[in-house]
Amino acid sequence: MDQIERLPAQLARRNWIILTVLLLGSLPFGNFALSAGILVGGLVAIAGFFWLQRSLGRLLEQPTGGTKFRYQFGYIIRLATLAAVLAVLIAIVKINVIGLIIGLSVVIINLFWMTVQRTL
């Protein structure tokens, strides 16, 4: 299997590793709200990444005109869903916003790590 073909699986696995490290790093602070925010934010980020990965896979498997429209429509739905979930978490559940932001950074940290790793 080519290195590029293994990349999505590596990214997905590393997302979970980064979330675990961030979560374990927050535990010594003894702030349950911060740890819960990191966990929830990480789960939202990983779910969004998985949803995007699946949508892109479908787009590349069936490159017809209708598939492009479905991808764009799905993108809007995905964005609206993530916005609604974040709004509920912040406004109703009252999740720790700092923890949520740290958790949402899981995928960004992963992509940054991959970029640095590939340039060295």
Per residue in 31-67, pLDDT (tens digit) is: 999 999 999 999 999 999 999 888 888 877 876 767 7
CA distance 59 to 65: 10
The residue with tokens 């790793």 is 117
Taking residue 46's Cβ as centre, other Cβ atoms within 10 Å add up to 20
Q: What is the mean pLDDT of the chain?
A: 91
| pLDDT 10s digits, 95-106 | 999 999 999 999
Separation CA 37–CA 100 (nearest Å): 4
Instruction: Report CA Rg, the chain.
Output: 16
- Tell whether the model's pLDDT for residue 14 goes beyond 80: yes
**pLDDT value, residue 63:** 67
Residue tagged 């696995």 (tokens): 13
Domain extents in the chain = 3-119
Q: Which single residue is written with the structure tokens 């740290």? A: 102
23 confidence band (pLDDT: 50, 70, 90): very high
pTM of the model: 0.89
Please tell me the distance from the alpha carbon of residue 57 to that of residue 59, in angstroms, as a whole number.
5
> HSE on the CB side for 113, CA within 13 Å?
14
